């Protein structure tokens, strides 16, 4: 079920339970996880994209191992809020996950997430190579944190 907003997503979730955040790109999927109490999100791993079936297999393993109760997927909107080709690709990925998994899904506006994470990494003097390795999972954490802050605050 792809929720229509944070309230619908929260209603579809059991009380508590870990959430996973995804930053879906054309080459990688950043994965983040939060604690069962929805307090903080942290980067988990970066999955290299291949065929959807292989991506799904890896994500299923992560979600099962971590007992994930719901997914927050970053939606890459244009700055003016309109859809881009990447937005459509992410929506299609979310629909495919929805058909394959029995987890509620929330699409979350991810404008600025990667830039914010990159800026923080540069300020922390993380090397360019390490930033490239970690930025997608860190962006997923940024997306997930924004969503859990909204879920807890509303």
Distances from the Cα of 25 to the Cα of 47, 93, 127, angstroms: 10, 10, 21
137 and 31 Cβ atoms separated by less than 8 Å: yes
Closest CA to 18 of 60, 55, 65: 65
pLDDT at 17 (0 to 100): 79
Tens of pLDDT along 110-148?
766 666 666 666 676 667 666 565 667 878 888 888 888
- Cα–chain center distance at 67: 16
Q: Determine, yes or no, domain membership for 1.
A: no
> How far apart are the C-alpha atoms of 123 and 138, rounded to whole Å?
14
CATH code for the domain in which residue 27 is found: 3.30.420.140
Q: What is the separation, in whole angstroms, between the first and last Cα of the chain?
A: 21
Domain range for 72: 6-153
Q: Is residue 32 part of a domain?
A: yes
- The more confident residue out of 133 and 15 is 15
Give how far Cα 21 sits from Cα of 73, 85, 122, 125, 133, Å.
6, 21, 23, 25, 17
Residue with more model confidence, 118 or 22: 22
Q: Is 140 within a domain?
A: yes
pLDDT score, position 131: 56
Does residue 85 sit within a domain? Answer: yes
For 99-108, what is each residue's pLDDT tens digit?
999 899 999 8
77: in domain: yes
Of residues 52 and 109, more confidence is placed in 52
Q: Examine residue 70 and state whether it is found in any structural domain, yes or no.
A: yes
Asked if the structure places residue 45 within a domain, the reply is yes
Q: Of 122, 88, 98, 108, which Cα lies nearest the Cα of 21?
A: 108
**Per-residue pLDDT at 79:** 75
What gap in Å lies between CA 27 and CA 81, rounded to an integer?
Answer: 24
How many structural domains comprise the chain?
1
61 domain residue, yes or no: yes
């Amino acid at each position: 079920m792809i929720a229509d907003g944070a309230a619908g997503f929260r209603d579809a979730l059991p009380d508590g339970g870990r959430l996973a955040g995804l930053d879906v790109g054309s080459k990688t999927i950043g994965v983040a996880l939060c604690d069962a109490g929805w307090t903080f999100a942290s980067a988990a791993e970066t999955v290299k994209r291949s065929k959807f079936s292989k991506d799904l297999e890896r994500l299923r393993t992560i979600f099962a191992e971590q007992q994930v109760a719901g997914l927050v997927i970053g939606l890459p909107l244009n700055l003016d809020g309109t859809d881009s080709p990447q937005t459509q690709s992410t929506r299609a990925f979310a629909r495919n996950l929805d058909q394959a998994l029995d987890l509620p899904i929330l699409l979350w506006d991810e404008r600025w997430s990667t830039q914010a994470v990159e800026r923080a990494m540069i300020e922390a003097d993380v090397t360019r190579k390490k930033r490239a390795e970690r930025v997608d999972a860190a962006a997923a954490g940024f997306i997930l944190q924004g969503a859990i802050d909204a879920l807890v605050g509303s």
